[in-house]
Each structure stands twice: as C-alpha cells, then as structure tokens.
Structure 1
C-alpha cells in the first residue's frame, strides 16, 4: 500500500475547551494536517444528517442538548479526507454558588427528587432533578473532597447560600440603528450582589475571539462592517466567578438617506402653492439641503440640475408660492453635513404636475381617455397653433423612470407624435410635451390596466358649467350597457348605472373617480381637474348658472368704475354750464344789456 496516496485524516478541535458550561461559547474546528479546509461536513453522534458545512461551527450559547460526540470530513479540492476521530463536547450546569465564594472545586453528585424539593431555591434554577451534573461549590470556609459522603456534600449547603450566575445585559446608545459615520457605544451591565469589579469579554456573532475587555466599547466613526449581533460576559476581577453569556443585541448600520415628499399635493393648477420637503430620518442634526430637477437628454442620459434658488431649501423646505407651467417636472434633493462629513445620495424623485388654463401646446391622446388596457396601440401628439414639430413627448413612469418616447422599446417618435405599439402596465405614468429648451406643457396622467374594467374619463380638465359623462369600459366585450357603481374620492355617488352624468360641473366636482363592477372588478382611479369658466366660454353656455354668476360677478366688478365715470361726466357738465355767458336779450336797451352782461 502506498502511504503517499492514503487520504489524510481530518482532526477536530474544540475551543476554548471540550468541557464548557451552559451559556458559554464553544467553537468546533475541522483541519487537515493542521491546515484549514475549503469544504467541511459535520456530523454528530445520533444524527444521520449533516448539521453544518462551515470549517468553524460556533455555539454562541451552548446548552445541554449541544453535548455529544462530533466528527468531520474535510476537503481542499476534489478529494475528501478520512473521517476524523470523534471528539466529545461536555456541557455542564454551573448552577449555584454560596456567598463566601471559597473555592472547593467541582464534584459530581446524584441529586434526588427529595433533595431537589428541599433545596428548591437552588435546584429549580438548575432543573433536571434526578440527573447527574457538575456543580461549583464554595463551602462555608471548608474544602469538600470527592471522598466526602453525598449527604455531607449536600448538607454543607443551605438554600440561603445559593446564588445563580448573573446574566449580563447589553445596551446600545444612542440607538440600535445608526448611520455610517456616527458614533455608537456598546455597554455591558452585570447586576450582582457582593461583586464590586468585573472584567468583561465582548463577542461578535461569527467570531470566537474577544474584541474588547471594557464595560463600554465605542465605535467612532461607525462602518457598515460593524453591523451584527453582539454579546458579552464577565468574570470577577479578583475572584473566580463568571457570569452567563448575555442575550445577543443587533446593531444595524446604514447610509443616511434623503427622502423627498410634496405638500399639499403633486397635482396643481396654475397659481397653487406647493412645498417640497427633504428629510433625513435619523437622530443626527446639522443637515443642509440642495434641490435639483431631473432631465433626460436626447441620448436618454439623465442629468441632475441644481436649482438657481436652491439656497431657499437650506431649512429642509423648498416652497413655490404660485405654481407656473414651467414648474412641471421631476424633482430630487440631497443632504450634507460637516461633522462628521457626509453627503447623501440623491433622494427619491417626485413629479410636480401643473395644469394651465390655456397652454401654448396641447397633448392629444388618440383614444381621448386616460385609462387603457394592455396590448393596444396608443398615440400621443403635441399640437400648437403653428403645427410645429419641435415638441417631444416625454414621460415619468410609476416606477420612477424619466424617459423620452424615442428611447422606449415599444415606442417611436415621428415629428411631434409618440406611438406605443403595444401598451404594458409599465407604461403607466405622466406624459407631457417638452421643447428643445426643456419647457414643459400639458401633462396627462396615463394608466394602463392589465384586465377587468377601466374608466372612460376626459383627458383634459373640464370647465365649470360643462356637462360631464363617465363610462365604465369592459375588456373582451362589445356590450356597452353593463351596469357599474361609480365612486368619487372613495365614496359611492351612483350605483348600478351604465353611465355617470354631471349636468353642470363645478369646482367641487374635482377629485379622483373610479368605477366598480361586482364580477369584473374595479377600475384604476383617475383625477378629474376642473378649471374656472372664462367669459368667452360663457358666450356659448349662457344657460349655465355658473356662467351667469361669472358674468354677474364681472358686471358687479365693473359697476363701481362705471358709476364713478358717469358722476364725473355729469359734474363736469354742470360746471361747464355755469361758465358759459347768457345770449343778449333784444328786448332790453343796449345800456341795460351791457350791465346785464357784466
């Protein structure tokens, strides 16, 4: 037999020792010829399955069930070693100690149920009456020997002298969840009478080595690699007592993140106020903020453009007192601080959608509705009075993507018309017309629904006084007369009808609408915007009560000026009459005529 070809034999070692106590940490390690292995298979006597494949397997807080005989196989390539000799891990209960702490050693005793009842204060903490265990004894100024009788050993103890090993408690300040770059402190507290000084051992899950021996250990600054579970135990500085291992406490470390929100809402009409709010959720302070708009170029690359008046956002809020059409766009923010120095990534994005009264360009949707089913063709065109083709259709999807129509997999741009050949739910988003100078106009919210029903609602804002009709459309059916329930802002307004009709629209009708069928499901929600009626519009809707009120309001507004003008003209006429001389009276003598004229 060629000994050089014989498979090497794996070897098991147990640290810190083969005999440990409940609550301690024990690590099994598998080696071949004193060197590490790349693959390991662990077996425990009595089990048929492999319980671990790590070279080092750690029991962070052992108990009696972990005791037993262990073997391993190892491999540094394709060949496996021979199985190792079995190594025994013994787990004992170090359950009670007496108060004067004179060491007498460890003795083996058989504890009967009667003694367990008599010494319940001690043995209930130990458990397992009737079983063998090792116990740590510190007798009353005397040393017990193994040859001492069982009764002598037991009688040397009194329940009043039994003390259970204390269990430390780990706390993390200022919090268990901190940000990279902050400072965090781990503290180990052991509450026990009679012990004035402890030495501490800190462990991190996954490692058997002690990384600190202080009661408080501080990480400053914190790194993401410091995240994990931590535990500690203590030993008497001038004595032999040990505590149990503490429960593990988890430290989480993440990067500070700026979060952007909008108040009061993202759907705006020209002149509405709006505030962008940038926050960093942490206990840290001292953040300053910058504000950006996100744009996409012709090659579909994205750019964050710093707002020229970004200094207004230093306090965490960026406020627009009166929204204009050019405020439509995608916004983002970021935060930074000096101590410790840190700059966040760009925040999530938020879209502001500003609806104008009379935009210079209109986005025309081919189907004249905002909701669509999947797998249909969709056409969107930008139209202005000059029929210019300088407009591009762009969108911001629900998935947070800013895209140009020409860059879409199923989209194409011809002139100022965007065509999506086959719609998908990922096409849901806000679409608008954008010029070469990045001026944005006429945003439209498009929703693509997978199946069921959709709401047929107008693409553009409706005007006060108009007649509004909503229908519920069903996929894979030609019948237009199926009945549905109609809702506004979550409240039922009409039930079991083929259409919802509002004969005279007012500003109060603005809101989110949807329809619901008991069998085919619920449509997505659509925002219906209502704009004020102009006098030109009222010339063609004179029967409308709202138009009448608008005209009356205009007349009442002008009346004071007309009244003042008439009064001024009248007064001027009276003054002019007083200054004109009377014509000569032919019946008077010439001398009297002269005196009358003077």
Structure 2
C-alpha cells in the first residue's frame, strides 16, 4: 500500500541520517486549471486552482513566467485583472521537505476590455418624421459574436438588443441620451459602457412668406417663399391653394413647379389669384414631407378706369370698409384683450369679422371660445396662440375686404402699424415684452434680415419712402426675437 511505502522511506532516511528530498511517484503532479478558460478582459475575475487528489496537508507554491515561487492557497482568485496579470502560471505542492512535480503550465491571456463606439446616421440633430439609425460597434480581441444592449437616459431597462436600431419616423419623445453595452454571445465577457450619444429631435415646419406684400393690384408681381425652419438643403417644395370654404383641404396649384428654390412667382397677379395659400416641403427616399405651412392670404384689387378711359392703377384704393384693431398693431400678447371692428363711411351694420387661422380653420368671431360679436365689432377677451391668423371684414353678400395678419404670442413682439404707411410720413417701431415693468425693450431692429439699428427702445424713420417696404423684426439678446411683420408703403395721397 502507499502508506507502507511512505513509512519505509521515511524510516530509511532517518536511519541513514542522510537528508532526502524525494519525489512521490504516485501523486507527483498537480493539475492546474483556470476559469474562465478563454482570454479575459481587464477588470474581470480569474480563478486559478492547483488540485492534488487523495492526500491532504500540502502547501502550494505558485510561480508566474518561471519567476520566484510564492506560497499561496490551493485556489487563488484575481478579482480585477490587469494586462500585467497575464502570463504563464504553474504550481506544485510541498509537505515538509517533500515536493511534487510542477503542474503543466497554463497561459492566462488578458486583453483590454473594449469600449463600444456609437454612431448615428444621418445626424445627431434630426427633425420629426425622419429616419435615424443608431449603431453600436465593439472591437474586442477573441470575441466573434456580441449581444448588444441599448439604454436611454440612464435607465436600466434595455430598449433594444440590435446592433443597429432604426427609428423609422422619429418624434420629440425619441430625443435623449443613448448608450450601448455588449456581452459575449457564447461566453462571460462583457464590454465597457459606451459614451453617451445625444439625439435631438425638432419639429419640421414649413414657413411661408410673401414678397413684396399680400395686398396687390392687378398686374403686380408677387412671390411666395417657402422655407424649412432650421434646415436649408435637400428640400423640394410644393404650393397649394384653398378657398374660404375649405377647412382641412388644400389643392395643389396646377402650375406649381416643384424645385429646390423654394419660390413660387406670379409675374402678373390677376383677380382670381385672391385666396389662401400654403406650402409644404419634402426630401429623401422614401420622401419625408413636412406638414402644411402657415397660411398666407393674397388679395388682388382690380384696376379702375377713370377720366376719359385713361387707365390709372390705384394701388392705394380705399376699400368700402376698414378693419380697425385695438391695440393698433398686428402682433399681440397672449392673455390680452383684442378688439376688431369693421367700419365703413356710412354705417357699420351688416359687416362680420371672420378669420382663417394657422391651423386651417375658417371661423366667425362669435364661434371663438373667448370671442363675441356685437354689431360689427369682434372682441376676444383673452387671446391665445391659436388666435394667430388672417382676419377680415365680410359683407352680408359674402364680399371680403381689408385682410390683416394677426400674430399672438407670449414672448417678444414688434409694435408696427396695421395699415400701410403713406410716403413722407413718420414710421415708429418698438420692441415690446409683456413680462417686464417697462414694456419697451432696448433691442436690435432688422429689415429683411439685415441689422439696421441696434440697442434702442424705438426705431424712427422720419420720412418713409417705397424703399422702406419690407419685413421688419426686433431682437433682444436675452428675451428673444419677435415674428416678422410686413410694412407696406403707399404713394403720397393728393
């Protein structure tokens, strides 16, 4: 038996008084195992076990890369390995002066833990309705297949397990910070967390403006200009018209030339061009389309023949009725009172204030939640942003006169005249803000996008001429900027 062999050997050595370091032949080599067996990443745990069967009481000696041995337990665990922990390990056992053979060497390979790289196409800033793709790439040595996990805004809930996650039609709720994380498909290794990638989603809006003005005489040129907020490239445009009876439907203009220019020009306006216009834009394949733009209304006045058939173009012909607005400006604060009256030279009976809102609704003043009609006067007790639109006077026979574009908002507004300014008169513009003790702001004033006066509470043009027609707005460095207002200039009356 084994025990008898050991006893005889020990007895023999003592009797001869010759020190003997002997090698046991039956249990001479321990088995060294490592878990996990595959290469591991930095930060992971590695367990090494030196196993010697049947006999107990052994001390275990460990060495790495044939360096000096050190006594350790039968099992050693490196909880957070570094690249420097990699190498060739071996062990053997000792009891008294007796040693086993060395185990077979075992190589431990340590790779840097990979960090995923996240990308986004086409861009981090995207517009609602467009398609956007998030992609997670992980390059880790020795790993052929990864399981991907996507997270949003620090949540611990996985919202996608695809390497590429595509939003086919993004909304503002999809905006946020995204990051990914990978685990080995067939194994225990994992990656770092990726850096955050922020996706911002804006609402695409087509914005329609008119140049030079909305109120024209037959034969005048007019251009509709369609732009997309926050984006200027890759769009094609279409123009639509509707009648006062259309609520939710617009008809594509038969001669609407779609193109990248964003302009629709009528070289010689006719009476039948009077009406409501909108535009929309599209780009990409499959095409992404914006919603309809804000509404612009064109009004064409016919040429009047007088004085022995001599034709005189009266661009300043006075309509039979005027729309009087109080406060007298085209931009108004929300939650304020607004009064609109139809006044003619004889009496005001028989006139109704009507409006066409930016949402495409045709309404009477009496149908408004905060509105009431008394005679030919419409009163809105407390305005809201939904009151933005075109207002005009309508006769009992259905004739429409004197349209005015009204804008209501809570921020900065431009105080400008409702009616065209006569050549030679003074023009005063002010920048107003509701939530200050002094409503006048010291602001910069712009015409057609160019700065014309800076840091003043009001801008005064002492003698107005036709060259002063254009789109005006003001801008405050902290409060923001007002919408644009068209200032129309008519010829000097004689």
What's the TM-score, normalizing by structure 1? 0.45
In 1, distance between residues paired with 2:148 and 2:115?
14
The corresponding residue for 2:14 is: none
Displacement after TM superposition at 1:381 (Å): 0.7
More helix by share: 1
Shift of 1:199: 1.4
Q: CA deviation at 1:380?
A: 1.4
1:204 aligns with 2:171: no
Instruction: Choose which of 264, 285, 293 in structure 2 pairs with 1:319.
Output: 264
1:348 aligned to 293, 299, 307, which one?
A: 293
| Cα 1:295/1:406, change in 2 over 3 Å | farther
Pair 1:168 & 2:116 matched: yes
Residue in structure 1 matched with residue 355 of structure 2 by the alignment: 395
Q: What stretches of structure 2 of length at least 5 have no aligned partner?
A: 1-35, 50-77, 96-105, 302-314, 433-441, 475-480
CA RMSD of aligned residues (A): 6.4
Distance in 2 (CA, whole Å) between partners of 1:445 and 1:163 is 68
* Displacement of 1:274: 1.4
> In the alignment, which residue of structure 2 is the partner of 1:380?
341
CA contact (8 A) 1:188 1:232 kept: no
1:231 aligns with 2:177: no
SS of the equivalent of 2:257 reads: helix
- Kindly state the Cα deviation for residue 306 of structure 1 after the two structures are TM-superposed: 0.6
Greater length-normalized contact order (CA 8 Å, ≥ 6 residues apart): 2
- Measure the CA separation in 1 of the matches of 2:200 and 2:223: 34
Pair 211,409 (structure 1): closer, same or farther in 2 beyond 3 Å: closer
- 1:186 aligns to 2:131 (yes or no): no
Distance 1:303 1:509, change over 3 A: same
Is the CA contact 1:468–1:501 (under 8 Å) kept in the aligned structure 2?
Answer: yes
Deviations 1:359-414 (CA, angstroms, capped at 9, x unpaired): 6543231769437898667341164999894x642235689876432322343446
1:146–1:303 distance in 2 versus 1, CA, 3 Å: farther
What's the CA shift for 1:203? 1.1
CA contact (8 A) 2:352 2:395 kept: yes
Q: Is the 8 A contact 2:241 2:253 kept in 1?
A: no
SS of 1:231's partner is strand
Specify which of 411, 420, 423 is matched with residue 464 of structure 1.
423
**8 Å Cα contact 2:244/2:362 also seen in 1:** yes
CA contact (8 A) 2:240 2:279 kept: yes
Indicate the SS of the match to 1:406: helix
Aligned length: 378
Instruction: Report the CA distance shift for 1:501/1:186 in structure 2 as closer, same or farther (over 3 A).
Output: closer
Partners of 2:119 and 2:413 lie apart in 1 by 55
Residue in structure 2 matched with residue 433 of structure 1 by the alignment: 393
Three-state SS of the structure 2 residue aligned to 1:198 is coil
Q: Which residue of 2 aligns with 1:331?
A: 277
Separation in structure 1 between the aligned mates of residue 146 and residue 348 of structure 2, nearest angstrom: 80
Residues 157 and 189 of structure 1, relative CA distance in 2, 3 Å threshold: closer
Aligned to 1:71: none
| Alpha carbons of structure 1 residues 379 and 321: separation in structure 2 relative to 1, 3 Å | closer
Change over 3 Å in CA distance of 1:353–1:382 after alignment to 2? farther
Alignment match, 1:30: none
Task: Give the TM-score taking structure 2 as reference length.
Answer: 0.52
* 1:419-568 equivalences in 2 (<5 Å): 419-420=378-379, 422=381, 424=383, 430-434=390-394, 440-445=400-405, 459-465=418-424, 467-468=425-426, 502=462, 505-510=464-469, 528-533=487-492, 537-538=493-494
Assess if the C-alpha contact under 8 Å between 2:473 and 2:485 holds in 1: yes
Deviation at 1:346, TM superposition (A): 2.8
Note the C-alpha offset of 1:290.
4.4
Going from structure 1 to structure 2, the CA distance change for 1:355 and 1:178 (only over 3 Å counts) comes to closer
CA distance in 1, matches of 2:149, 2:342: 65
Deviation at 1:231, TM superposition (A): 1.8
1:202 Cα deviation from its structure 2 partner? 0.9
Contact residue 289 and residue 336 of structure 1 kept, 8 A: yes
Deviation at 1:200, TM superposition (A): 1.1
